[in-house]
Structure 1
Amino acid sequence: MTTESTSRAADIEAINRLVATVEHSQQHKDPEEFLALFHPDAIWTTAHGKVLIGLDAIGEFTRKVLPAASWDGQVSYQVAHVLFIRPDVAAVKVRQRYLSPGEESEGAPLYVVSRQADGRWLLTACQNTGVVAD
């Protein structure tokens, strides 16, 4: 394995951990754990089209809606695809599933993540899109 492929594998593993932390924060309805994953200048568009620019706006929204969310901890996030735009920026397609008694819904978020100087990958520009059943 080359140094480059080893580095890429480590980046993919770190991105998978980032998405797993998103899942954990959503399952536990923990706004602070979720917000710690964002770049300070991040852009977030909710599944309903609300555009939030910067961590302050994302935080205000998240602290209001996440603790009151209707799902009962039954949510899963899986990395479906990673496209490296450059070595420190990746587009990550995620499969998101919410399971409530008698109801299931799915989302298809796109996260643009960036690796920081300290090696952490952070959510930088994200679009959370609901999937409409055919």
Structure 2
Amino acid sequence: MIHMNTETADIKAIEQVVAAVERTQRAKDAEGFLALFRPDAVWTTAHGKVLIGLEAIADFTRTVLPNANWDGEVTYEAVHTQFLRPDVAAVKVRQVYHSAEGDSEGAPLYVMTKQDDGRWLLHAGQNTEVRAG
């Protein structure tokens, strides 16, 4: 029973990180977004740009996020969490950009790791654009 309660608490904590990604993306808050990463994170954008380490992720995010041009809102939902180890989770996310022209979707996969202080952080991410058809 303890394992199940711990896992449930971890899933809730992971979902809170995904909600923070949504909140910081909507607010175009680069620093808030960057606070969700480990220093040794690896990130691949939806268009295939590979960013290794927080410094590279920060340089890209600080350039792109404040100038992001979407005319609607974006939503993120953790649709599946698979624990690879008790302190490592693969999280499948549904990302939807809602706009007047219609919705577009991304399918990120986040690998998150639980830190010694109990926080879950983004350790690796691969975003993929979902194309119709």
Query: TM (normalized to structure 2)?
Result: 0.98
Report Cα offsets for 1:20-58 as digits up to 9, x if no partner.
000000110100000000000000000010000000000
Task: Extract unaligned runs of 5+ from structure 2.
Answer: none
In structure 1, the residue matched to 2:50 is 51
Aligned CA distance change for structure 1 residues 73 and 22 (closer, same or farther; 3 Å): farther
CA distance in 2: counterparts of 1:131 and 1:79, whole angstroms: 16
Shift of 1:73: 5.3
Shift of 1:103: 2.8
Aligned residues: 133
In structure 2, the residue matched to 1:87 is 86
Give the aligned CA root-mean-square deviation in angstroms.
0.8
Report Cα offsets for 1:53-78 as digits up to 9, x if no partner.
00000000000000111113500000
AA of the residue aligned to 1:104? D
Report 1:1-134 matches (<5 A): 2-72=1-71, 74-134=73-133
Judge conservation of contact 2:42–2:53 (CA < 8 Å) in 1: yes
AA of the residue aligned to 1:48? H
Query: TM (normalized to structure 1)?
Result: 0.97
Query: Percent identity, aligned pairs only?
Result: 62
